[in-house]
Amino acid sequence: MDIKNHNFSVTEISQILKELFDGDIFKNLSIYGEIYSIKRGNLTYIDIGDKEKEQKDSPVIRCALSSYSYNPIVDKLNVGDIILVHGSFSYYNKGSSITFWANKIELLENQLGLSLIKKREILLRLEKDGLLTREKKILPRIVSNVGIITAKDSAAYNDIITTLKTRFPTNTRLFPALVQGKDGAKSLINALNLAYKSDVDAIIIGRGGGSKTDLSCFDDEELARTIAKSKVPIITCIGHTIDISICDRISDISAITPTEGASLINPSMDEINELFINYKDNLDFYFDEKINNTLLSISNNQEKLNAYSPSRRLLSMKEKIELNKYNLFSSFDLVLSNYLNMCKNEKDELDRYIDISISNKNQLISSYKSKIEIFNPKMIEEKGYVQIIKEKNIIKSKKKLSSNDEVEIVFLDGSKEAIIK
């Protein structure tokens, strides 16, 4: 077959590739590299590339490990580790994918352990210098100018700009920088120094998620110290949840994603509208309250003015005089009435006393009269008694008379002279 002059179908090319990879040349190979990503499951997939190369520049081989050939070391593997994989390549027609099926994995260098030791040493130095415990700067309520440090035309930049458009307007300025790789830290430092020379109120440093290798530049000590020198608040939003970078520890505010970091700049338009409505309601309430209080104050002052006016005072004095006059006359009438009642009672008492006295006197007179009647000579004479008078004296005892005494006998109807024998 003349290969150069033959038109191959896709199926034919796929079949040729499958036969090629099924051959002995791609069997029982050993490949070493840095773990860029790892996904565990019934089939564990590990993407490896060249050590200390940018992921975007390094070729990547996908290794697969089935549960039948499972090795306990897989549970200890982390992104950034250097491993040696033993296995064979396989070509899969559907999807035209090439997979390196592993039957044995060896850990050559634990990158995570080295990174953690280095990171811990940097944090200790920063803490010793007081950079981790320094007072965090407060983000202004309204940020007029915000500096953005991220990769130009990146998804992180678009997320930040899109989020800021939904919030209270702010001026933005991009300070482009590399956000991964060995030159990432230096690029971020240069961008920060440019931002410090500009008129910004806050700075956002952000990028999307990535592997530990991609994010390693955010654990740079010099970058952390440069962030600590900032005179304005710095927000870091590096886009990961597994680990906290040194830049997150040193910044004033740490967010998980660029969208969340941008949402901290200024209130949203919904918040502003709600705030506007609240302010308007409060202003209406206080305005109404002020008017009502003013009207009440005017009314009170008018009442005070009326109360202290001469005419009001004269009227009040006149009313007091009339009241005193009424009270005086009422008191006089009451005193007079009491006096008259007292006089009447005394008169009645006197009349009663006089009547009793008269009655008693009449009774006494009657008694005396009865006694007088009893001793009245005329009454005695009417009963047949007479008076014997001797020498003008009434004789009451026979011893006063002697024989031959001349006496006068007085009868009721006259008198006769007689001689006692």
Residue 114 has a pLDDT of 61
Q: For the segment 278-328, what is each residue's pLDDT rounded down to a tens digit? A: 988 889 888 888 898 888 888 888 877 777 777 777 777 788 888 888 888
pLDDT over 70 at 110, yes or no: no
Contact 179, 220 (CB under 8 A): no
- Give the bridge partners for 43, in sequence order: 66
Nearest to 275 by CA among 263, 286, 267, 285: 267
H-assigned helices in 203-268: 221-228, 246-250, 258-262
Percent of the chain with pLDDT over 90: 26
Residue 4 has a pLDDT of 67
The DSSP output letter for 409 is E
- Residue 330's pLDDT band, with cuts at 50, 70 and 90, is confident
pLDDT over 60 at 113, yes or no: no
* 3-state percent helix, strand, coil for the chain, nearest multiple of 5: 50, 20, 30
Burial 58-71 (b: 16+ CB within 10 A, else e): beebebebeeeeee
Please name each of the domains of the chain with its CATH number.
Answer: 10-109 (2.40.50.140), 121-262 (3.40.50.261), 378-419 (no CATH)
Contact 55, 214 (CB under 8 A): yes
3-state secondary structure of 416: strand
Residue 164 has a pLDDT of 94
Q: For the segment 331-347, what is each residue's pLDDT rounded down to a tens digit? A: 888 888 888 888 888 88
Segment 9-29 shows an average pLDDT of 85
- Residue 83's pLDDT band, with cuts at 50, 70 and 90, is confident
User: CA quadruple 326, 332, 338, 343: dihedral positive or negative?
Assistant: negative
| Pair of tokens at residue 59 | 């070729």
Percent of the chain with pLDDT over 70: 90
pLDDT over 70 at 244, yes or no: yes
What burial class does residue 88 get, using C-beta atoms within 10 Å of its C-beta: 0-12 exposed, 13-18 middle, 19+ buried? middle
